[in-house]
């Protein structure tokens, strides 16, 4: 599959579980993002990674832990979540730092629909 992929597409977990969301981009981009999408805040930026370094952490609770092992992969590790964390989690990528001619067009993955019981 080309573009940005995310797994799993759906996830149901209890508050004491530990799970991870995975994102992979096949576009040769250098920057990757996690967004939370819910009815209250439609596109809320959580984390930004550029060249595998975290460049922004938007005051996200520590129960969300991102990991970027290389420029193509991004993970979101989940631990002791709350029911209010139920949302669609979207990953995106863009050309980022090295593409000075780019204007940060972001390509989104299909999202993971997370339900916390």
- Where along the sequence are the contacts to other proteins (CB under 8 A)? 30-31, 33, 41-43, 45, 48, 50, 55-56, 90, 94, 96-97, 100, 102-111
**In the complex, minimum distance from the CB of residue 7 to other proteins, in angstroms, rounded to a whole number:** 14
**In the complex, minimum distance from the CB of residue 94 to other proteins, in angstroms, rounded to a whole number:** 7
Instruction: Choose between 20 and 106: whose C-beta lies nearer to other proteins.
Output: 106
CB count in 10 Å sphere of residue 89: 23
Select from 31, 24, 43 the least CA-distant residue to 87. 43
Token reading at 39: 């009815």
* CA distances from residue 60 to 66, 70, 76, 78, 85 in whole angstroms, order as listed: 10, 22, 12, 12, 11
Instruction: Choose between 33 and 64: whose C-beta lies nearer to other proteins.
Output: 33
Instruction: Choose between 12 and 55: whose C-beta lies nearer to other proteins.
Output: 55
**In the complex, minimum distance from the CB of residue 43 to other proteins, in angstroms, rounded to a whole number:** 4
Q: Which neighbouring-strand residues pair with 117? A: none
């Amino acid at each position: 599959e080309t573009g940005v992929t995310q797994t799993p597409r759906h996830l149901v977990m209890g508050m004491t579980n530990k799970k991870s969301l995975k994102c992979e981009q096949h576009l040769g981009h250098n920057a990757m993002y996690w967004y939370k999408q819910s009815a209250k805040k439609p596109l809320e930026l959580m984390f930004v990674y550029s060249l595998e370094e975290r460049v922004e952490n938007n005051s996200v609770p520590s129960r969300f832990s991102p990991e970027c092992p290389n420029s193509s992969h991004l993970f979101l590790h989940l631990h002791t979540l709350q029911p209010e964390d139920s949302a669609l989690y979207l990953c995106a990528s863009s050309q980022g730092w090295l593409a000075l001619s780019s204007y940060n067009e972001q390509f989104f993955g299909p999202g993971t629909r997370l339900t916390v019981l």
